[in-house]
Amino acid sequence: MALKHDWTKEEILEIYNKPFMELLYEAATIHRQHHDPNTVQVSTLLSIKTGGCPEDCGYCPQAARYHTDLEGNDLMSVNQVKAQALRAKASGSSRVCMGAAWRNVKDGEEFDNVLEMVRTINKLDMEVCCTLGMLTENQAQRLAEAGLYAYNHNLDSSEEYYKEVISTRGYQDRLDTIGNVRKTNVTVCSGGIIGMGESEADRAGMLVALSTLNPQPESVPINALVPVEGTPLEEQKPVPIWDMIRMVATTRIVMPETQVRLSAGRTQMSREGQAMCFFAGANSIFAGDKLLTTPNPDVNEDMEMFKMLGLNPQKAFEKKSQPESVDAKNSQFKSQGEKPKWTRPAHKIDRNLEAQLKAKTKA
């Protein structure tokens, strides 16, 4: 059966608001048609450059303009990243996702080092994912040539609500970056966050934006907001577990072949709640004590939960074959010295400005 790429907001809302047991059953049935229900991908998220980001994302403690007591660090070395990747592999992860607090990729020594990190991890027979901000087609090609397996670039929310959370970049830039990744053999990882004050219609709108991409993203992370003191969204109440299960189930129904990742916010979820998410179609998690800068369950706790539920970690390259890594000296795609200027919308977000003012006062 061909995948549906013309979902409407109304159709997705109708699914989201189905009677709970009916929604769960439908999602679980579709999940079993396309995936092994007892296999879950385990990824490790590694912050290779922390803090100092120039963006104003209302949820993010890494934004330089907010005061969150975050300890920043410069770009890690290739050897440091290799050591962390080996540790992740030993604990059961099949993928390492490297995150840098950049607005966008800029050609130069730092990007060259990231390319070397990609080559190094790929040669450990692990899937490599990066989340580095916006990137051009040539930069995407260079990552692909280094052996990148996936690129993460979240849409965060619906296009309408996005403007209530972020003012320093445009929604179209997100879509353009995903389009640049699609010109390579790198898979796309793109999802969003619930619990930022958005409506159910906004949640449906985000799923419309993702599901109408052709092809649909190979991986969709569903994050529950972790409110961090000092950020504009510090006062948001935790997302009810029922909302997370509904979101996972709806994502599974509209994107049957996608891996749905249970991401940030798992520390607030009981094992029973997580089990229901797995039943509803989640088949990927982030492991490790931190997700970039926010808390995450200990990997040993996750392995205990897997044992209790009879779940097995997915092996690397099960969904797509391992890419080859081309050494830098043999690269066909060279640095073009790109320093692209991406969109900077002109609108203002009051709560972001208030948090920025509060940070200046504290400083």
Active-site pick, 53, 182, 246, 252: 53
Q: Identify the H or E element spanning 360.
A: helix 350-362
Q: Are strands 294-295 and 290-291 parallel, antiparallel or unpaired?
A: antiparallel
Kindly state the tokens that stand for 170: 């445009």
Q: Is 53 labeled as catalytic in the residue annotation?
A: yes
Q: At what angle do helices 200-211 and 241-254 cross, to 10 degrees?
A: 30
Kindly state the tokens that stand for 46: 């590694």
225 and 196 in contact (C-beta within 8 Å)?
Answer: yes
Active-site pick, 95, 174, 189, 203: 189
Active-site pick, 97, 174, 182, 266: 97
Q: Is 277 labeled as catalytic in the residue annotation?
A: no
Q: At what angle do helices 9-16 and 200-211 cross, to 10 degrees?
A: 120
Active-site pick, 142, 174, 246, 261: 261
Residue 167 φ/ψ, nearest 5 degrees? -120, -5
Q: How far apart, in whole angstroms, are the C-alpha atoms of residue 276 and residue 279? A: 5
Active-site pick, 95, 129, 169, 174: 129
Task: Report in angstroms the alpha-carbon separations of 39 from 102, 306, 308, 309.
Answer: 33, 9, 13, 11
Catalytic residues: 53, 57, 60, 97, 129, 189, 261
